[in-house]
Amino acid sequence: MSATRDRLAIALDTGDLSSAVTIAKAVQPHIGIAKVGLQLFSAAGHEAIRAVQDLGMTVFLDVKLHDIPNTVRGASTVLGSLGVRYLTVHAAGGPAMLKAAVEGLNEGADKAGLAAPIALAVTVLTSDPTASAELLNERLNAALVSGCGGIVCAATDLSVIRASAPNIITVVPGIRPAGVPTHDQGRVATPAEAIRDGADVLVIGRAVTNADDPASAAASIAGEVASVLAP
């Protein structure tokens, strides 16, 4: 199941670090990546990253940087030194801003003696059901020319992404097992659907964190993904 764990991220979208660690511990046997989102990072900052790293989980820092290139580069340099594996940046900021993020990540990681994190360009939010294919392609191209190693996209966008950029890492939120409420997500997919369509990493949130038994819910999703990945 190790390959499956590396392809699943738990969204720790809470303002309480203790609750986040409790969830992470519960799902860790089945999910290998912890997404530290804006809410948790705002509440606990670098301590949240260290707490997840202490559990042996890979850190996905989801703060969606979006500002002028100089500011984004400065922030990315700091974040690149923290040992996270992934960092999100809004593709809407354009190629110059995305390139500044990549350069900052490389600089920060290099000074800390670490491997550089993968910059993930956020294309179109999964809560937006109206974005055009033209906008998706524009933001994908911005990610490609700026050197981002991956993108965040909806499962419904994977066919377009894979046709244009077959090797880019695709991180897909909006994952809902069959029968689970979609909440505020406008474009969702089951874990099996997303993997079959070409997703590399699935972000799992309320389907697990709101479950009566998060560990059992995580195990069920991991099993579904493993069945698709099995030769």
- Amino acid making up residue 150: G
Question: Which residues have a catalytic role annotated?
Answer: 64
- For the chain, the domains span 2-229
Which pLDDT belongs to residue 129? 67
pTM of the model: 0.92
Q: What is the mean pLDDT of each run of 10 residues along the chain (231 residues)?
A: 86 96 97 97 97 97 97 97 97 97 98 96 77 86 96 91 92 83 66 94 93 95 94 76
Supply angle C-alpha 149, 2, 46, rounded to 5. Answer: 55
Homologous superfamily of domain range 2-229: Aldolase class I (3.20.20.70)
Cα-Cα-Cα-Cα dihedral sign, residues 53, 59, 62, 66: positive
